[in-house]
Chain A
Amino acid sequence: DQQVKQNSPSLSVQEGRISILNCDYTNSMFDYFLWYKKYPAEGPTFLISISSIKDKNEDGRFTVFLNKSAKHLSLHIVPSQPGDSAVYFCAASHTGGGNKLTFGTGTQLKVEL
């Protein structure tokens, strides 16, 4: 049972436009959500996170939105740059579950010139 789902395996966006990556979850116990970025042959790099007490967190070009009622989170990248081309994973955890992150399967983002 996939508790964290990224239904779009790939996304293509033009440079300078907004990239929106989506993630859905089923476990209502999740209270901390993270986005990681991964280049080929490298480990995932932490990007941004959000606690369930917030609905938005912003860091430079990256903003994460959380809609608890819909069990949905999204990552917005604006403006998108070619160096943003990578696989993006969302992950979730819950207090009492340690840091046991449950990951989605990832979305490959390609930013085109």
Chain B
Amino acid sequence: ETGVTQTPRHLVMGMTNKKSLKCEQHLGHNAMYWYKQSAKKPLELMFVYSLEERVENNSVPSRFSPECPNSSHLFLHLHTLQPEDSALYLCASSKGYGVVGNTIYFGEGSWLTVV
């Protein structure tokens, strides 16, 4: 158990669907992240939230919409996705943002397939 829980673990959605990925961290951390891992590519940072405020948006298309209602929960709302958006989406958390030597802890990921 990693302390960062993601649901669902697997999701298949059509291009016209709206769905959400959910993340919860039980580590008392103040920063949360969404990463994307596509085949044969390095992990890509999508969004960063610190104390429930978005501090980074890494040029992510608007069809991905994050939400952080509190420091323990993070959502990624998905709508009108494309097949190339199929990937492993990883949530992560850390004690803080911008702190030297701060380690990021990942959840187990949500496998998304867009058909």
A interface with B by C-beta (< 8 Å) = 2, 4, 31-32, 34, 36, 41-46, 49, 51, 89, 91, 95-96, 98-106
B94 touches A43 (CB 8 A): no
Instruction: Give a binary string over B31-65; 1 marks a CB under 8 Å from any A CB, 0 the rest.
Output: 10100000011110100101000011000000000
CA distance A98 to B31 in the complex (A): 10
Contacts A/B (CB < 8 Å), 13 sampled: A32-B101, A34-B104, A43-B90, A43-B109, A46-B103, A46-B106, A98-B55, A98-B56, A99-B48, A99-B94, A99-B99, A100-B56, A103-B43
A101 touches B45 (CB 8 A): yes
B104 touches A46 (CB 8 A): yes
B42 touches A51 (CB 8 A): no
Within 8 Å by CB of A45, from B2, B40, B55, lies B2
What are the residues of chain A within 8 A of B4 when measuring CB–CB?
43
A32 touches B100 (CB 8 A): yes
Instruction: Give a binary string over B95-115; 1 marks a CB under 8 Å from any A CB, 0 the rest.
Output: 001111111111111010000
Q: Which of A36, A43, A44, A91 has the most CB atoms of chain B within a 10 A radius of its CB?
A: A43
